[in-house]
Amino acid sequence: MERIMKTFEELGLQDNLLRAIAELGYENPMPVQEEVIPYLLGEDNDVVALAQTGTGKTAAFGLPILQKINTKQLYPQALILSPTRELCLQIADDLKDYAKYMDGLSVLAVYGGSSIETQIRGLRRGVHVIVATPGRLLDLMNRGVADLSAVKNVILDEADEMLNMGFSESIDAILEAVPENRNTLLFSATMPDEIAKIARKYMREPHEITIGNRNESTASVRHLYYMVHAKDKYQTLKRIVDYYPNIYGIVFCRTKLETQEIADKLIHDGYSADALHGDLSQAQRDYVMQRFRVHNVKLLVATDVAARGIDVNDLTHVINFTLPDEVEAYTHRSGRTGRAGKTGISISIINLREKHKIRAIERIINKTFEACKMPTGKEICNKQIFNLMSRLEKVEVNEVEIADVLPSVYRKLDWLDKEDLIKRLVSLEFNRLIEYYQDNEDIETIEEKTPKKQDDKKGGKSQHISTEEGFSKIYIGMGKIDGLLPKNLLELLNANVEGRVEVGRIDLFRRYTLFDVDEKSAKKVLKALRSLRYLGRDVRVEFASEEQMIRAQREREEGSDGGKLRSKRGRSREGAPRYDAGSTERGSAKRAAHGTDRNTAGKPKYKDSFKEKKKGKGKPSKGKF
């Protein structure tokens, strides 16, 4: 059934607000506005609204609470909490625009990183609406200058973000100070358990409004991924940026260090980029964001925390240089593009080990990701050239302004025919790009392969799952409960596997361990360990199956012992240390660093525990680890 379009007048807004939003270009209400505005105009109507950023939320709560303000009474009547300074300022600016024809209405934004004395003076002069970050508002309350005793409407915008940032206790303290007979509106992109708890504790039978499905990504966003080797991730990022000539977006990284490194590389390579992370001062953040908003910076490289509250409606792309740990964080990232009726693209750069994360995200957001092949250098150059031609076709020619210089230009270039002129124009613009891609090999996109099958020691089958380039992942049915440590695993391999073996990432869990070995040695390692016995029992050793890898990832994400150990040992980032089984001085240093004891006639410390084999004793090998 086709949805009947309503008007703002039908929603019950008064004339002074209608006049202001008409001048701002508002024609018909968006779905979230249709649903929320009538409820907030009433009394004792609490609302939980699940909607993505960019769906018209500010007008949805801003217009009705402004209409309910009594401008003759100069004290706080409405409170809006937001997670970041940027969003706080933006909401305050939007409310002032809506209130253009409301005489005497006062809106004050209070947030950290700015003079608290100025904000105190503003509160003492009197305000009708406070827009605040939780931490600064609580500080002002403790100083006795923020009186919330007459507040009638409370809005929690991006409540899930505020909880993720650790504001739970501050929100509790603030809501305890607000009268119980208030209207409360809780806006969130997702509905985690913490949001549900706040709703139960502080709201009275709230009406739930969902725009789209819970935790679902906006329908106007395409979700793509490029699966490449870890060493190629930065080059992949550059190719993606080159392939979209008009890109204007955010590149998300996991850590502050990675964010700054990627931004520095992009700037060095000639891209219009800058970094936004927690180590920047407020003045530096403001400077970066101003340059980004006016398009002087085309790529903003940011952490999730630093990007919270950024509200730019015309982003074309969001690029996940590293996937977030939580699906909700991905939802927030991708929701920053495809706003205000426009389409957007969310791109993830992953390696094979992260493929299961893509599948998990698909299930939660109810969207299917498209696997993309890396564009070749030729395809990128062609796309850039045609973009230039399109810009030439659409450029506005001001003949009056250039009339004086045209005769000189014609005389200068009259010896060139049309074809020569076009060739020179293209060469002038693209020689560097063409030469770059001629000198660089194309990047390999990892294809999803049907897992190889290997016989296990009991006659069954297990899947051979490739991990990092050149490595295979092996499952061994021993873990921390058996007293296994990385150095013990190395000693076990040293005692039972002949020849040189390179070991990569090691993930220990309570009852099992996953570890990477170089592909050329993988079958040899598996064969050597399949008849392994430990303390009188057979030990299961096989190529790791997809189910085992998914289980391990789930345990890490849920904070199991395996995940905690991995975090403490610094294994969470790409490029985990590899234990080279070399016999050089460097290899000896590695053996010492990782605890392998070769000082007892070449006998490993775990010899007594691991020597029992079904087909004889394992022989210590030489020159390894």
pLDDT digits (tens, 9 = 90+) for 10-64: 888 999 999 999 998 888 888 888 888 888 887 777 888 877 665 678 898 999 9
Most confident of 139-153, 523-537, 546-560: 139-153
Among 11-25, 196-210, 443-457, 530-544, the least confident range:
443-457
Measured between alpha carbons, how far is 343 from 526 in angstroms, rounded to an integer?
49
pLDDT of residue 55: 64
Hey, is 207 helix, strand or coil? strand
Q: What is each CA distance from 82 to 133, 475, 486, 509, in whole angstroms?
A: 5, 46, 45, 39
444 against 374, higher pLDDT: 374
Contact between residue 442 and residue 450 where contact means Cβ atoms under 8 Å apart:
no
**C-alpha 291: how far from its chain's center?**
21
| Distance of alpha carbon 450 from alpha carbon 453, whole angstroms | 9
On average, the pLDDT of the chain sits at 78
pLDDT in tens, 413-422: 888 888 888 8
618, pLDDT greater than 50: no
Cβ-in-10-Å burial (0-12, 13-18, 19+) of 200 comes to: exposed
Mean pLDDT of 294-303: 93
Instruction: Give the single-character DSSP code of 156.
Output: E
Candidates 3.40.50.720, 2.30.38.10, 3.40.1190.10, 3.40.50.300; CATH matching 221-371? 3.40.50.300
Q: How many CB atoms lie within 10 A of CB 51?
A: 23
pLDDT tens-digit profile of 195-206? 777 777 778 888
- Return d(Cα 474, Cα 485) in angstroms, integer: 16
Report pLDDT for 5: 55
Is pLDDT larger for residue 467 or for residue 395? 395
- Report whether pLDDT(3) > 60: no
| Alpha-carbon distance values, 428 to 5, 267, 315, 449 (Å) | 51, 21, 29, 43
164-184 pLDDT, tens digit each = 777 888 888 998 899 888 888
In angstroms, the CA 471 to CA 352 distance is 11
What SS3 state is found at 229? coil
In the numeric block, which tokens belong to residue 132? 């605040």
The pLDDT confidence band at residue 340, using thresholds 50, 70 and 90, is low
Could you read off the pLDDT of 54-94 as tens digits, one per residue? 567 889 899 999 999 999 999 999 999 988 887 888 899 99
Q: Phi and psi of 194, rounded to 5°?
A: -65, -35
Q: How confident is the model at residue 567 (pLDDT cuts 50, 70, 90)?
A: very low
Tell me which fold the domain 15-210 belongs to: Rossmann fold (3.40.50)
Cα–Cα distance, 484 to 109 (Å, whole number): 55
H helix runs in 68-145, sequence order = 85-98, 116-125, 134-142
Q: Is 584 a residue whose pLDDT tops 70?
A: no
Which residues are CB-neighbours of 398 under 8 A, at least 6 positions away?
A: none
Please name the residue that has the structure tokens 């650790």. 166
CA gap 507, 488 in Å, rounded: 13
φ and ψ at residue 506, rounded to 5 degrees: -125, 125
Cα–Cα distance for residue pair 303/321, rounded to 1 Å: 10
Higher pLDDT, 464 or 494: 494
CA 472 from centre of chain: 28
Q: Rounded to a whole number, what is the distance in angstroms from the first to the last CA of the chain?
A: 69
Answer whether 293's CB lies under 8 Å from 268's CB. no
* Closest alpha carbon to 114 in 279, 274, 280, 281: 281
The answer to whether 238 and 262 have CB atoms below 8 angstroms apart is: no
Look up residue 28 and give its amino acid.
N
Amino acid at 356: H
Packing angle of the helix pair 377-394, 418-439 (nearest 10 deg): 150
> Which pLDDT belongs to residue 433?
76
* 3-class SS letters over 383-448: HHHHHHHHHHHHCCCCHHHHCCCHHHHHHHHCCCCHHHHHHHHHHHHHHHHHHHHHHCCCCCCCCC
Structure confidence at residue 538 as a pLDDT band (50, 70, 90): confident
Q: Are 487 and 596 in contact (CB under 8 A)?
A: yes
Task: Indicate if the pLDDT at residue 137 is higher than 90.
Answer: yes
Q: Same fold for the domain at 15-210 and the one at 221-371?
A: yes
- In contact, 463 and 545? CB cutoff 8 Å: yes
3 state DSSP class of 277: coil
Give pLDDT, residue 302. 93
Based on C-alpha coordinates, what's the Rg of the chain? 30
C-alpha closest to that of 258 among 322, 315, 314, 318: 322
- pLDDT digit string, tens, across residues 346-397: 999 998 878 888 888 888 788 889 999 998 888 888 888 888 888 887 788 8
pLDDT at 594 over 50: no
Answer whether 0.75 is exceeded by the pTM: no
Maximum average pLDDT range among 28-32, 157-161, 414-418, 591-595: 414-418
The residues spanned by each domain of the chain are 15-210, 221-371, 377-439, 452-610
Confidence category of residue 136, pLDDT binned at 50, 70, 90: very high
In whole angstroms, what is the distance from residue 261 CA to residue 153 CA? 44
Asked if residue 537 has pLDDT above 70, the reply is yes
What integer pLDDT is reported at residue 218 of this predicted model?
A: 58
Taking the C-alpha atoms of residue 324 and residue 254, their distance in angstroms, rounded to an integer, is: 7
pLDDT tens by residue, 103-126: 999 999 999 878 899 999 999 999
Contact (CB, 8 A) for 122 and 108: yes
Q: What is the pLDDT of residue 559?
A: 57
Closest alpha carbon to 565 in 514, 494, 526: 514
Chain Cα centroid distance, residue 339 = 17
- Say yes or no to pLDDT of 575 above 90: no
The mean pLDDT value for 241-266 works out to 93
State the Cα angle at 252 between 81 and 316, rounded to 5°. Answer: 85
Q: Strand 502-508 and strand 513-518: pairing?
A: antiparallel
Residue 485 has pLDDT above 90, yes or no: no
pLDDT for residue 191:
63
In terms of pLDDT, which residue wins out, 407 or 562?
A: 407
452-610: CATH topology is Alpha-Beta Plaits (3.30.70)
Cα dihedral sign, 393-395-396-400: negative
- Can you give the pLDDT at residue 219? 64
User: 150 phi and psi, to 5 degrees?
Assistant: -115, 10
What percent of the chain stands above pLDDT 90? 26
Q: Which two tokens stand for residue 170?
A: 């501050």
Predicted confidence band of residue 296 (pLDDT cuts 50, 70, 90): very high
Question: Using 50, 70 and 90 to split pLDDT, how confident is the model at 487?
Answer: confident
Burial 520-544 (b: 16+ CB within 10 A, else e): ebbeebbebbbbbebeeeebbbbbb
Name beta bridge partners: 579.
503
